Structure 1
């Protein structure tokens, strides 16, 4: 068991034996603390060239004479035998030594460090999980902004002044606590929010970010773009490139790894089962859940589309429902972001396209909408128009931050629709639709499904809000029974 301690190494003689990448990383970390650093190796990683005026480089094999007067040595060669030889010599001569390949069998090891000015936070799992250590470090680093140094400097001056006062220790401790209490409210912390890079995804993420900023002015919210597989492959149907989770997998990995603190998704993109270690903290206010029809110039409504007209959509659900309204229409597969799809309409022989009204409104493109489909004509996808705020399961602090913008009614409606989809056995690609509407203590759920994309089964159920999940399950089973 190692005792955590801070040691001043300024101008202390420290030697690193080895010239590889690991040695380079150790050197870079140590240089922040201004030691007299010497690197000994017969060859050096190219990165050492950037350090040549900050360290002494000795191009030679290890010789014990080099380190005879060392304060500390790091054995970082690619030979365990050589590292053991170095360690044994240091041990005999009372020189602190670290063997990089087995730090816990050394005199010391360098833990994970977050350093922001005078603030230093050290993290270690005693070598049991370096990956967990790195994740914790990322989370800590994200919490504090750079202004933490000005806060610490102010408190340092306050402490000096309070100590000079002619009061007893009890009063001084109270005054010190009060000085921290006064400034703690001004301490800005940082939350990194992950989003896909499309214009719509960023617009949606910005809506959430703006709401969070309004309620949490002392927190800095930063948006980080993460590219998903679904954004890169545009020439295939979603079902052909992974189906469930194809738009969220990379974002969820970033959340689990601590690269981001909060993820904002279109709820309908998320698989119905939570990813292990992650939870949906809630749903903010839901946008229009209807589907919208955009027609080429000159067409004023669906009835104006000529016989055999071409309608673009990448959704099986939309395709099967529009075919029930107009069986003569030809459905053209269509993928890409909102702008891409509208440009396709404007520059091809398509007569129209079907998109989610929510996305068009969030992008300020409502004027392009020719008409809206009623829910009787086209039942929306489960959770359409809703955003999901996803966090790590154990992150209670962040759950509290987002709680202020959660729409509880929308959250329950969306959860109910997703329960229906889960019991049905579908995902965002399934030819399935669902809509839950809550009025007071009662709710109604409408559901639609097709096995073959042609024959539709549509049912509805209503009952008490307290039985929302049960009702969703009953509806899904009823539809399955009538396949």
Structure 2
């Protein structure tokens, strides 16, 4: 191959990610022309409704997959946490890059921690997972939905629409905005989303030529960790409507997987953890899910989904509740 085209979303963070991969490929293959194909996805365009209402996280990758299938692109770069748990059979994840900081962080100009925020302070977030963590550990705070790319969210906080934001640290660091991070939130309270902070390269299934060109980008520990995390989400029907966290850390040559899932309205969550080898990553995920099921997680999630369905949609409750089902894109 003489030319390689990368499909990417048009948001600043997505472009940074694609340009990062572009640079790595050019360095490894100087003879190869590596170009970007910028695509605006429906997930980027519709910002006034939650993703659960307009189709879920897959809206961020569908148009990119069309470009792969019709030959306009050879690969697509994604924030791995925005990739659906089950890809269509004509696609595969050709490489998983080494993970950036997977943790959540506090963005706030006036206070240095969530504990310092006064009762009733409004905190913006884009996910049910973060909302549930806030309701469990900081019930005196109000939660509001905030969507849009990183710059849009920061601007809303700067205008005073929110007293603070909870965001992914990785996105801010990648965009050179680490100075906006007031505090890194402890994983004991704010466990990351499955695959948060990791980049995935999607290719056409069976495309051995492209797979060989990106093979040097593969990071085995991150692949194993995200495989375990995504198995938890897959086994529990993870979607934008399910508040779920799963995070696997490499400890002593093994994976330590922690996970929780729950019900925002009840401010309840079921937690579990297990340790296992890299080559048993998916089995580790299933073991954690079995623990959670034994504690009644299925009933807890079913009650949450039933309540959301009967309401017809997750509406804001006089600024006291985040709109349900928004993905953590960016």
| TM-score when normalising by structure 2 | 0.87
Provide the aligned C-alpha RMSD in A.
1.3
How do 1:382-421 residues align onto structure 2 when only pairs under 5 Å count?
382-421=194-233
Q: Tell me the residue number matched to 2:160.
A: 348
How do 1:409-448 residues align onto structure 2 when only pairs under 5 Å count?
409-427=221-239, 430-448=242-260
* 1:213-260 Cα distance to aligned partner (Å, 9 max, x none): 111111010011111110110000111110140111111111111110
Distance 1:268 1:433 in 2: 11
Q: Tell me the residue number matched to 2:24.
A: 211
User: Is 1:334 equivalent to 2:146 in the alignment?
Assistant: yes
- Note the C-alpha offset of 1:467: 2.0
* 1:408-458 Cα distance to aligned partner (Å, 9 max, x none): 111111111111110111135520000111234421100010144521111
Q: Tell me the residue number matched to 1:322.
A: 134
Question: In the comparison of the two structures, how many residue pairs are matched?
Answer: 295
**Which protein shows a greater Rg?**
1
Q: Tell me the residue number matched to 1:266.
A: 79
Distance 1:231 1:262 in 2: 20
Q: 1:193 to 1:315 in 2, by over 3 A?
A: same
Distance 2:294 2:213 in 1: 43
- Note the C-alpha offset of 1:298: 2.4
- Note the C-alpha offset of 1:337: 0.3
Distance 1:298 1:418 in 2: 36
- Is the Cα contact below 8 Å between 1:315 and 1:429 reproduced in 2? no
Query: Which of 272, 293, 296 is the aligned partner of 2:106?
Result: 293
Q: Tell me the residue number matched to 1:276.
A: 89
Distance 1:400 1:219 in 2: 13
Deviates more, 1:428-437 or 1:202-211: 428-437
How do 1:9-408 residues align onto structure 2 when only pairs under 5 Å count?
143=1, 189-295=2-108, 297-408=109-220
Distance 1:466 1:314 in 2: 33
Distance 2:213 2:170 in 1: 25
User: Is 1:464 equivalent to 2:274 in the alignment?
Assistant: no
Q: Tell me the residue number matched to 1:124.
A: none
Secondary structure at the counterpart of residue 60 of structure 2: coil
Distance 1:303 1:318 in 2: 16
* 1:178-217 Cα distance to aligned partner (Å, 9 max, x none): xxxxxxxxxxx11000000000000011111111111111
Stretches (4+) displaced over 4 A: none
- Is the Cα contact below 8 Å between 2:131 and 2:264 reproduced in 1? no
- Is the Cα contact below 8 Å between 1:270 and 1:428 reproduced in 2? no
- Is the Cα contact below 8 Å between 2:221 and 2:278 reproduced in 1? no
Distance 1:337 1:478 in 2: 36
- Note the C-alpha offset of 1:328: 0.8
- Is the Cα contact below 8 Å between 1:381 and 1:428 reproduced in 2? no
- Is the Cα contact below 8 Å between 1:269 and 1:428 reproduced in 2? no
- Note the C-alpha offset of 1:300: 2.2
Secondary structure at the counterpart of residue 282 of structure 1: strand
- Is the Cα contact below 8 Å between 2:94 and 2:201 reproduced in 1? yes
- Is the Cα contact below 8 Å between 1:193 and 1:264 reproduced in 2? yes
| TM-score when normalising by structure 1 | 0.60
Distance 1:443 1:225 in 2: 36
Distance 1:267 1:429 in 2: 18
Q: 1:429 to 1:253 in 2, by over 3 A?
A: farther
